Chains A and B, each alone.
Chain A
């Protein structure tokens, strides 16, 4: 594997909110500060896939970057504030804000979806960034949400991403929900999930589309919560018992007297 490919795989696997730490470690391992050029495609990929958020200069809300709101040449737009901005992928900073008027054949639908998405987000995400953007050929709309919570002082960080493409002509919603949680106090534990979503909607109003999405997200989160329980009761329990079947710790002084399959209750021969 080439050096750039190896470095890019590190960037790719950076946990939520830890891109700067990963970059810093890479520089120290290589003993050089000049990796920016080499890594800039990896940074861009990471930011667009992870829906990295940034505050616009002078603004208060965080806007996200993705392939859907990219204008090329490192510029992105935010439909809500009708502005475009340059994004520094290595530093995560926005600059050079300009006004940007979105032109789309789906303008009314886009506005109604954006409104419903905003309501949905405020009801279910304590803190999130979201947006609705026409796809490149303007035949569909991308509906994106990202919620981050970083708590590095407690050694954990988390990210929830929802990404859907709604195609009005076919009445379909396709996309995915991804969860990424990193816990690293005296260890390194990572939860990574991905749920593919494929839904169809009858009436095509923005509110109806969001109702479908909302139901799907709720179901997924409930399924996920149940999965924690069944992994704990299933795989985890069958890996190692909390205590031997006798419910007693081992008497190590008498260990040579234990005979497998005989003294061990119910053991196999």
Chain B
């Protein structure tokens, strides 16, 4: 992982880190380096030594920290109820509120930008109190005084990134909504790319896809070091007389890092675009494997359609054949 040489970009050499969805512990004793409630980099601190992929790995068994236990619980309970379960945990232990809201990805909500009449996506990253900043107008909905907005340089990139990911959205999702939010960091900037689409291909089936890509870019000489953590929340369901109810829902999280060449701020948008595009392709394949391969295999492990006596006989016959050929 990590250093792939200055300026080189080779997506095939990326390792997909093994990362449980638990976000890192919030460094509570670490002063936050950004201003404004809800506008900070959640997963990445400005201090690179604090956050490493190892933090995403399961911790060894010890007296469990309540936040670790809360994240463990959310990894087990029905992912479809994650919003409700987060609310319940906060009720049970209010001290966990901030950490949970920062580390748990819930399906994105949609707001309408009153200035541009365009829909945009809401998450903790464009929130200030009870208002959300529109990527199209840079204004908060509902309006607030002195809501935190990016610096001019970063806002320029944000506009470009929103244009670029609008094209990306149309090419890959053929519909849906996209929003990109960036914010300033001491040694670069950070941001998130959000994509959401819902479908009802037939009255009896439905599906929704939410991508939440959170990244930071650390400026170095002629290159930038990018860290990307991606979550896809995918929910599918059918309900029919013949099959009954079926719900297949969940989320998967992956992380990559890469160093890429940077000439000017346009390079950043292209670099992030490539990373997100490659990550989503990998995650789409992974989701396909887990949702339609693994889940089906487990059902087949629980119950066998052909009688087991026949299966066992077939296996014995096969073994005999192999043995006799070996003689």
The docked-state distance in angstroms from the alpha carbon of A36 to that of B175 is 49
Query: CB distance A25 to B92 under 8 Å?
Result: no
In the assembled complex, which residues on chain A have CB atoms less than 8 Å from the CB atom of B249?
Answer: 189-190
Query: CB distance B92 to A6 under 8 Å?
Result: yes
A202 at the interface (CB under 8 A from B): no
Q: Given A25-B70, A125-B302, A225-B296, are A244 and B172 also a contact pair (CB < 8 Å)? A: yes
Query: CB distance B174 to A241 under 8 Å?
Result: yes
Query: CB distance A189 to B303 under 8 Å?
Result: no
Query: CB distance A195 to B209 under 8 Å?
Result: no
B324 at the interface (CB under 8 A from A): no
B208 at the interface (CB under 8 A from A): yes
Q: Is the interface of A mostly helix, strand, loop or mixed?
A: mixed
In the assembled complex, which residues on chain B have CB atoms less than 8 Å from the CB atom of A241?
Answer: 171-174
Quote the shortest CB–CB distance from A229 to chain B (angstroms): 7
In the assembled complex, which residues on chain A have CB atoms less than 8 Å from the CB atom of B284?
Answer: 240, 242
Quote the shortest CB–CB distance from B53 to chain A (angstroms): 12
The docked-state distance in angstroms from the alpha carbon of A240 to that of B73 is 30
The docked-state distance in angstroms from the alpha carbon of A189 to that of B289 is 12
In the assembled complex, which residues on chain B have CB atoms less than 8 Å from the CB atom of A31?
Answer: 66, 93
The docked-state distance in angstroms from the alpha carbon of A186 to that of B57 is 9
Quote the shortest CB–CB distance from A130 to chain B (angstroms): 12
Quote the shortest CB–CB distance from B195 to chain A (angstroms): 8
Interface size on A, residues (CB 8 A): 86
Partner of A22, one of B76, B92, B244, B252: B76
Quote the shortest CB–CB distance from B314 to chain A (angstroms): 14
Query: CB distance B75 to A188 under 8 Å?
Result: yes
A137 at the interface (CB under 8 A from B): no
Q: Given A187-B250, A235-B201, are A264 and B170 also a contact pair (CB < 8 Å)? A: yes
Interface string of B110-146 (1 = CB under 8 A from A): 0000000000000000000000000000000000000
Q: Count chain B CB atoms within 10 A of each CB in A15, A196, A255, A260 and give the residue with the most.
A: A255
B253 at the interface (CB under 8 A from A): yes
Query: CB distance B244 to A160 under 8 Å?
Result: no
Query: CB distance A124 to B307 under 8 Å?
Result: yes
B321 at the interface (CB under 8 A from A): no
A122 at the interface (CB under 8 A from B): yes
Query: CB distance B76 to A25 under 8 Å?
Result: yes
Quote the shortest CB–CB distance from B292 to chain A (angstroms): 4
Query: CB distance B308 to A123 under 8 Å?
Result: yes
Interface string of B197-222 (1 = CB under 8 A from A): 10101100111110000000000000
A227 at the interface (CB under 8 A from B): yes
B322 at the interface (CB under 8 A from A): no
A183 at the interface (CB under 8 A from B): yes
Partner of B207, one of A15, A147, A158, A239: A239
The docked-state distance in angstroms from the alpha carbon of A147 to that of B307 is 15
Interface string of B275-288 (1 = CB under 8 A from A): 00100110011011
Interface stretch (choices B29-37, B181-189, B266-274) = B266-274
Query: CB distance B295 to A256 under 8 Å?
Result: no
Q: Count chain B CB atoms within 10 A of each CB in A10, A31, A241 and give the residue with the most.
A: A10
Q: Given A190-B249, A196-B244, A260-B166, are A242 and B238 also a contact pair (CB < 8 Å)? A: no
Q: Count chain B CB atoms within 10 A of each CB in A18, A179, A185, A190 and give the residue with the most.
A: A190
Closest A-chain residue to B273, C-beta based?
A252
Q: Given A186-B253, A189-B290, A224-B246, are A159 and B197 also a contact pair (CB < 8 Å)? A: no
Query: CB distance B247 to A188 under 8 Å?
Result: no
In the assembled complex, which residues on chain B have CB atoms less than 8 Å from the CB atom of A252?
Answer: 164, 269-271, 273-274, 277
Query: CB distance A245 to B91 under 8 Å?
Result: no
Interface string of B56-89 (1 = CB under 8 A from A): 0000000011101110111111111100110011
In the assembled complex, which residues on chain A have CB atoms less than 8 Å from the CB atom of B78?
Answer: 13, 190, 192
Partner of A231, one of B21, B238, B252: B238
The docked-state distance in angstroms from the alpha carbon of A264 to that of B303 is 46
B152 at the interface (CB under 8 A from A): no
The docked-state distance in angstroms from the alpha carbon of A252 to that of B168 is 9
10 smallest CB-CB distances across A and B, nearest first, come from A189-B250, A195-B244, A235-B207, A187-B252, A28-B69, A252-B270, A25-B73, A244-B171, A6-B88, A252-B273
Q: List 14 A-B contacts (CB under 8 A).
A: A6-B88, A6-B92, A14-B76, A15-B76, A21-B72, A25-B70, A29-B70, A124-B305, A158-B298, A190-B248, A236-B288, A240-B280, A264-B170, A267-B170
Known A-B contacts: A29-B92, A187-B75. Give 19 more (CB < 8 A). Answer: A24-B64, A26-B73, A125-B302, A158-B301, A183-B295, A187-B251, A188-B21, A188-B75, A192-B247, A193-B246, A195-B245, A221-B305, A223-B242, A224-B243, A224-B299, A230-B238, A236-B288, A240-B209, A252-B271
Residues of A within 8 A of B (CB): 1, 3, 6-7, 9-10, 13-15, 18, 21-22, 24-26, 28-31, 122-126, 147-149, 156, 158-160, 176-177, 179, 181-196, 217-218, 220-225, 227-232, 234-236, 238-246, 249-250, 252-253, 255-256, 258, 260, 264, 267
